[in-house]
Amino acid sequence: MADLVAPTVLLHRAWLGARDEWGRDVVQHGSGLHEATDVDTPEGFAAWVHRLNTSADESVPAAEGLVHATYWWIVEDGEVVGSITLRHRLTDFLLDAGGHIGYSVRPTARKRGLAAWALGQVLTRARERGLDRVLVTCDDSNEASARTIERNGGVLEDIRDTDLGRTRRYWLATA
C-alpha cells in the first residue's frame, strides 16, 4: 500500500535508489530537485530535505522565482516510488506551462495506478488549502500522464507551445 510521506532524511538510501533508476540527469517532475543540488552526501541531502519541507511555510518568503509548495514522496514498503508537489499559487510561467501539481513515478513502479492515486490524494490536499481547482500539465506526447490527469477529472483547456515544449493544460476540480 502506497502512502504520501513528507520528505525525510530517513529515506536517503531509498530516495537515491529511485533517483538512480530515473537517471541522474533525468528531470523528476514534482521532486523539487535542481541540477546543482547535492543529494549524495548526508549533509547535502539533509539540506535539500529541509528546503523541501520549509517551502510550504508561507511565513518564510519563497526563493526568488519560486512559489510556496508542498512536497511529498510516494512511498511503498519503504521504497520511494515517486514524488508529487502542490504549488500553492501560479506564476505566469506556471499558468502557461507548469501548473499547480507536478509528479513522477519511477520506471519500475509505473502502470500500477500510483500516479493517479497520488494525484487524487493531492487534489484533496489542494481543496484543504482553499483551491477550488488546479492546473495540471503534461508534455503533449505523454499519453500515460494525460490518462492519469483525465482519470482524476481533468478537463483539457488547450495544447500549446510553451518554454517546456508542446504542453497539454488541464483544469481539475478539487471538490
DSSP 100: S
The Cα–Cα gap between 119 and 32 comes to: 16
The pLDDT of residue 116: 96
Q: Give the model's pLDDT for residue 34.
A: 72
For residues 146 and 168, give the distance between their C-alpha atoms in angstroms, rounded to a whole number.
8
Q: Which three cell numbers stand for residue 56?
A: 510550504
Rounded percentage of the chain residues whose pLDDT exceeds 90: 83
Number of H helices, E strands in the chain: 5, 7
In the block, residue with C-alpha cell 514524488? 83
pLDDT value at 39 more than 90: no
pLDDT of residue 153: 97
According to the model, what pLDDT value does residue 167 have? 97
Q: How far is CA 131 from the centre of its chain?
A: 17
**For residue 142, pLDDT beyond 80:** yes
- Report pLDDT digits (tens) over 46-87: 999 999 999 999 999 998 888 999 999 999 999 999 999 999
Question: For the segment 9-37, what is each residue's pLDDT rounded down to a tens digit?
Answer: 999 999 999 989 888 776 677 677 776 77
* Residue 9: predicted pLDDT: 96
Q: How far is CA 61 from the centre of its chain?
A: 21
What does the DSSP assignment read for 115-137? Answer: HHHHHHHHHHHHHHTT-SEEEEE
Q: Which pLDDT score is estimated for 141?
A: 96
Q: What is the pLDDT of residue 22?
A: 84
CA distances from 146 to 15, 39, 140 (A): 26, 30, 8
3-state secondary structure of 114: helix
Distance CA 38, CA 166 (A): 30
Q: What is the pTM of this model?
A: 0.92
* List of residues 6+ apart from 97 with CB closer than 8 A: 137, 162, 163, 164, 167
Q: What is the mean pLDDT of residues 121-136?
A: 97
Q: What is the pLDDT of residue 158?
A: 97
C-alpha cell read off for 109: 513502479
